[in-house]
Structure 1
Amino acid sequence: MTVQDVRAFNRFYTNVIGALDYSRQLYAPYTLTEARVLYELAHSARTDAADLRAGLSLDSGYLSRILARFERDGLVERAPSVEDPRRRRITLTARGRETAALLGERSDQAVAGLLAGVPADQRERLGEAMRTVREILSGGRTPRPEDVLLREPEAGDLGWIVRRNAALYAAEFGWNADYEGLVARIVADFAEDHDPHLERVWIAELDGRPVGCVMCVRDEAPATARLRLLLVEPDARGLGIGDRLVSAVIGFARGVGYRDLVLWTNDVLTSARRIYQRHGFVLVAEKPHRSFGKDLVGQDWRLDLTGVPG
């Protein structure tokens, strides 16, 4: 490969990306850079202004003007960071989350339109080529927490949730197919009938593949949400993905007006229980039961969402 090969590819790819944002309508009324900032705020674990500037390679003055516009538009709120008062923490408002979701939806539709012109039997080849470019140019470095993207599910992701839950719990805890049936029913209920304003699924993605998931659904109790199906792939553990997924559920549930967040788990899931405890969940009940081919102790946990966020 030569320098000219790389430059030729860059020109071609730039033209492809430019075609997606035809006449700058894709992200209107925001620019592509402004849309990138919104996307980062909606998906990144780091929301300090300094981290945004470094992660997006933006001039500090330019980023400050973007954030000032977002603040005027009611998209963000700025406050001193809890960890370091000298830094500014940026958080999306409810309107900001809606705007980021709308821009993301437009972008997804544009990419889907691009892929529509690619024969089905060539799409996997294209995806593998893209992953190869990323892996080679990244130098094979160890993944970092900031490399993980939290996103909404795409076609096939709900099936992945069922498959990976069944496979991982069978491998790690010896659970039988009864658990797969339970997960399949939970996922099917969500897919067939959910309120997108009050219920949501998150997929954690690393290097173009899903490595984690969690769900937030309505509970039978009034003003109560339920956290379900938290999972992190073994080879992606240690990157704080579980904490980010639980934080996403808590932030969403509090933002849409739930007063309580509950979950059911089992005492053998020690890593998950530690995550729940770190986020303020309190154990309210436990009961022995025989499920999934094992003798287990089921646990109910609860988080009061009406207090001051931690």
Structure 2
Amino acid sequence: MTVQDVRAFNRFYTGVIGALDYGRHLYAPYTLTESRVLYELAHARHLDAADLRTRLALDAGYLSRILNKFEEAGLIERGTSAADPRRRSVTLTAAGREAAALLDERARETVGALLDTVAPADRPRLAEAMRTIRGILGGEQETPGDVVLREPLPGDLGWIVQRNAALYAAEYGWNADYEGLVARIVADFAEDHDPHLERVWIAELDGRAVGCVMCVRDDAPSTARLRLLLVEPDARGHGIGDRLVRAVIDFARGVGYRDLVLWTNDVLSSARHLYQRHGFVLVAERPHRSFGKDLVGQDWRLDLHGSGV
């Protein structure tokens, strides 16, 4: 590799980034650097100005002007750091979280539109190439960061619908009927659910949503249903699916359900093996035509009182 190779790639990548924001005003009304500060504050806890300077390699005076602007706009609050009284903590206000969420939504939509131009078969290769560049030039470790399971934030339920539709279309060729099904499931939960008996988990890795699962009441008495388990392709292999399924099992058992059931299709082999590891038993299967494909649907059941997993 030569210096010219790096410069050529840099020109190409800069052009791609510029095209992403062409005519979209992706960061408006903030600059790119201001948007990066909002992102860090939204995705990390207990930050102070020194942390931000280190993470973003910013001049102290420049960062101070940004934080002053944000404070005047009501986007942040500053106080004494619990870890070091000599430092001042920086946290987003409700208005700041709303601004950061809007920028994040715009970024997701824009990058999603870019990925739509990439053939599904090429996406794993593209993701691996990106990880390679980050690992070599950024000195990043091969192991992932901390995975956090959290409740959904505003916009996350829409993310569940979008990611399910996109991933199953890319990986299995399912049509928009599946997106409609997921949208109905999510809408039913959003409009009417008992927070004591029903929950949604979002798996977050390094500040990015990479997975989800739902636990909802089933029509059968004392029975919960696991729904919409998903892990992003580039986050698989790190036990995130196991953690999501375990969260549902522990929750369902803890609130008093006797059985946990789910419906899946035999083509989803990785998910089926995951359910089997957690003690689910196949109780029925039948062929059906759905989502533009001929499939074999499967019903699985876990006895929450009889299973010690």
TM-score range, shorter chain: 0.5 to 0.7
Aligned residue number for residue 195 of structure 2: 196
Matches within 5 A, 1:119-130: 120=99, 124=103
Partner deviation per Cα, 1:268-292 (whole Å, 9 max, x = no partner): 0000000000000000000000000
Check whether the contact 2:77–2:91 (CA below 8 A) recurs between aligned residues: no
Partner deviation per Cα, 1:63-109 (whole Å, 9 max, x = no partner): xxxxxxxxxxxxxxxxxxxxxxxxxxxxxxxxxxxxxxxxxxxxxxx
95, 98, 123: which one pairs with 1:116? 95
The verdict on how the C-alpha distance between 1:308 and 1:279 changes in structure 2, with shifts beyond 3 A counting, is closer
Q: Percent identity?
A: 72
Check whether the contact 1:214–1:246 (CA below 8 A) recurs between aligned residues: yes
Check whether the contact 1:215–1:229 (CA below 8 A) recurs between aligned residues: yes
The verdict on how the C-alpha distance between 1:172 and 1:18 changes in structure 2, with shifts beyond 3 A counting, is same
Asked if 1:172 is matched to 2:180, the reply is no
Displacement of 1:116: 1.1
Displacement of 1:208: 1.2
The verdict on how the C-alpha distance between 1:257 and 1:170 changes in structure 2, with shifts beyond 3 A counting, is same
Give 3-state SS (helix, strand or coil) of 1:159's partner: helix
Aligned residue number for residue 263 of structure 1: 262
Q: Give the total of aligned pairs.
A: 211
Partner deviation per Cα, 1:27-76 (whole Å, 9 max, x = no partner): xxxxx79xxxxxxxxxxxxxxxxxxxxxxxxxxxxxxxxxxxxxxxxxxx
10, 19, 29: which one pairs with 2:79? 19
Displacement of 1:140: 2.3
Check whether the contact 1:266–1:297 (CA below 8 A) recurs between aligned residues: yes
The verdict on how the C-alpha distance between 1:302 and 1:116 changes in structure 2, with shifts beyond 3 A counting, is same
CA distance in 1, matches of 2:102, 2:289: 44
CA distance in 1, matches of 2:101, 2:214: 32
Displacement of 1:177: 0.4
Displacement of 1:178: 0.3
- TM-score (norm. length: structure 1): 0.60
Aligned residue number for residue 140 of structure 1: 140
The verdict on how the C-alpha distance between 1:200 and 1:20 changes in structure 2, with shifts beyond 3 A counting, is farther
Aligned residue number for residue 292 of structure 2: 293
Aligned residue number for residue 209 of structure 1: 208
The verdict on how the C-alpha distance between 1:303 and 1:17 changes in structure 2, with shifts beyond 3 A counting, is farther
Check whether the contact 2:150–2:204 (CA below 8 A) recurs between aligned residues: yes
Aligned residue number for residue 184 of structure 1: 183
CA distance in 2, matches of 1:252, 1:260: 12
CA distance in 2, matches of 1:170, 1:139: 34
Aligned residue number for residue 160 of structure 2: 161
Check whether the contact 2:78–2:91 (CA below 8 A) recurs between aligned residues: no
CA distance in 2, matches of 1:224, 1:238: 30
Check whether the contact 2:279–2:307 (CA below 8 A) recurs between aligned residues: no
The gaps in structure 2 that reach 5 residues or longer are 1-49, 68-75, 84-89, 108-133
Displacement of 1:207: 1.6
Check whether the contact 1:20–1:111 (CA below 8 A) recurs between aligned residues: no
Displacement of 1:19: 3.0
